Amino acid sequence: MIFYSTNKKTTPTSLKKATLEGLATDGGLYVPSEIPGFSEEEIELLRDAPFNDIAFAVAKKFNDGEIPDGRLGEIVENCFTFATPLVGIEPHTYIEELFNGPTLAFKDYGARFLAHLTGYFAEEDHRLITILVATSGDTGSAVAYGFKGVPNTRVVLLYPSGKVSRLQEQQLTTVGGNVTALEIDGDFDDCQRLVKQAFMDAELKQKLALTSANSINISRLIPQSFYYAWGSLQLETRHPGKKAVFSVPSGNYGNLTGGVLAKMMGFPIDHLIAGSNVNDSVTRYLEEGRYEPHPTVETLSSAMDVGNPSNFARLRYFYRDDHRAMAADISGYSVSDAETLDTIRAVYDRFGYIMDPHTAVGFRALEKFRETNKPCDEPAAILSTAHPAKFIEAIKDALDMDITLPDRLQEVLDKQKISIPMSADYRDFSSFLSKF
């Protein structure tokens, strides 16, 4: 398959080159030349298939023969060694738990797939790949663990100082080996800007083989469609004749874009809900048709604190910059911190279920959607993007209770943090990379 830049100023390229470049040379994001479709017959054959079979079927469409099927199948099997539970809490309401991977966050799906693809391509070319990652929380740890020990790769993580939870920071800064953490004096948008500038720096790119593991990388985006494909088929089986609604906690909008891919491929998805916190640039666009990014505001759902989300460029591309077409498929709702805490309490009181702040944003966004779209009897799944133990402070505030940390998180807390403080000035970042 051929991949284009959203800025349409570079030569179309292969999956390999798009993966290893991360960001196109014209500053755009890579998108497939066409979104592959699944026929009704193909969908029917996948209906009762296990997760990895569905993941392979989707990956094969985008791969289009670049990686031999046997090796691609091995990559899928090695990536997704954990379950994806779909937990029913009401007759038409489900939580799709995406936090059962190594770092207890949904980013494990995309990061592990990208790491294995990058490792395959690096091995093929016999070269060292440097992966740059801007993170507002879970992306960095997922990438760090995904790439840990992968031959011919090294990772540089940029995270905003004081703006991620302690657990997230410990996961970011204790991996070691081929992973280096930079603690940036700024916010997530500053981290993201530094990464983008590095990719646009011709002199730096001559010295280093750079790629990205953020959701700007097409090979981290593609696997985010897998759990929508699987979840939609599960929901249709449980509710024959009904297509699924997905409510998605949204920050940089890569997760939501994965849902758009699955819907456009033909999986049984009726509608997508983008739940934002007060960083609501896309929410306002969906309502008003004008995109006016605001500076980033800190919230309880810190991984969603993104004022100018990168993947909005892909959404505009897929919908041909047609606001009405996008708004027909996607509804956006903003959720305040107060609403987030209230939702955590209400869900626990009603169902005995504990959810993290990001999942709570998705749950409240679904409630708002149903309040304004009655009757609404489609089965709906909220994507639960992180284990609640990763946000113990918020859970304590909401429920006045402590929750037990999983062993793997407790082990991380006991390790020594190792990070390199750095300003948000690109000259400092460039100098570091040049000597790296």
Return the pLDDT at 363: 98
CATH topology of domain 78-105+221-399: Rossmann fold (3.40.50)
Task: State both tokens at 127.
Answer: 């070269």
Matching residue, tokens 């007759």 = 91
Give the integer Cα–Cα distance in Å for 246 and 138.
21
Give the integer Cα–Cα distance in Å for 415 and 171.
9
CA-based torsion, 224, 55, 82, 23: positive or negative? negative
* Every domain of the chain and the residues it spans: 78-105+221-399
Return the pLDDT at 395: 94
Nearest to 118 by CA among 131, 104, 107: 131
Give the integer Cα–Cα distance in Å for 25 and 33.
17
- What mean pLDDT value characterizes the chain? 94
**Residues facing residue 182 across a β-bridge:** 158, 420
Stated as kind and residue range, the H or E segment containing 330 is strand 330-334
Collect all residues with Cβ–Cβ distance below 8 Å to 322 and sequence separation of at least 6. none
Return the pLDDT at 60: 98
CA-based torsion, 303, 307, 310, 311: positive or negative? positive
Q: Please write down the HEC assignment for all residues of 380-423.
A: EEEEECECHHHHHHHHHHHHCCCCCCCHHHHHHHCCCCCCEEEC
pLDDT, averaged in runs of 10, over the chain (436 residues): 94 94 89 96 96 98 96 96 97 97 93 94 91 83 88 93 87 92 94 91 89 85 97 97 97 96 98 97 96 92 90 96 97 98 98 97 98 88 94 93 88 92 97 92
Return the pLDDT at 189: 87
pTM more than 0.95: no
Return the pLDDT at 166: 83
CA-based torsion, 302, 308, 313, 318: positive or negative? positive
Residue 165: phi and psi, rounded to 5, are -70, 160
Return the pLDDT at 156: 96
Work out whether strand 210-212 and strand 244-249 pair parallel, antiparallel, or are unpaired. Answer: unpaired
Return the pLDDT at 404: 87
Burial 350-374 (b: 16+ CB within 10 A, else e): eeebbbbbbbbbbbbbbbbbbeeee
- Catalytically active residues are 107
Give the integer Cα–Cα distance in Å for 388 and 175.
22
Helix 226-238 / helix 51-63 crossing angle, nearest 10 deg: 130
Residue 252's CB: how many other CB atoms inside 10 A?
Answer: 25
Return the pLDDT at 376: 78
DSSP state of 427: H
**Residues facing residue 334 across a β-bridge:** 276
Give the integer Cα–Cα distance in Å for 408 and 243.
37
Give the integer Cα–Cα distance in Å for 252 and 254.
6
Return the pLDDT at 73: 98
Give the integer Cα–Cα distance in Å for 231 and 211.
30
pLDDT digits (tens, 9 = 90+) for 147-196: 988 889 999 999 999 988 788 899 889 999 999 999 999 998 899 899 98
Return the pLDDT at 383: 98
Collect all residues with Cβ–Cβ distance below 8 Å to 268 and sequence separation of at least 6. 43, 232, 233, 235, 236, 243, 244
pLDDT digits (tens, 9 = 90+) for 18-33: 999 888 989 899 999 9
Return the pLDDT at 423: 98
Return the pLDDT at 12: 93
**Residues facing residue 333 across a β-bridge:** 275
Nearest to 260 by CA among 273, 251, 249: 273
Return the pLDDT at 319: 97
DSSP state of 13: B
Residue 237's CB: how many other CB atoms inside 10 A?
Answer: 11
Residue 266's CB: how many other CB atoms inside 10 A?
Answer: 16
Task: State both tokens at 381.
Answer: 């799944």
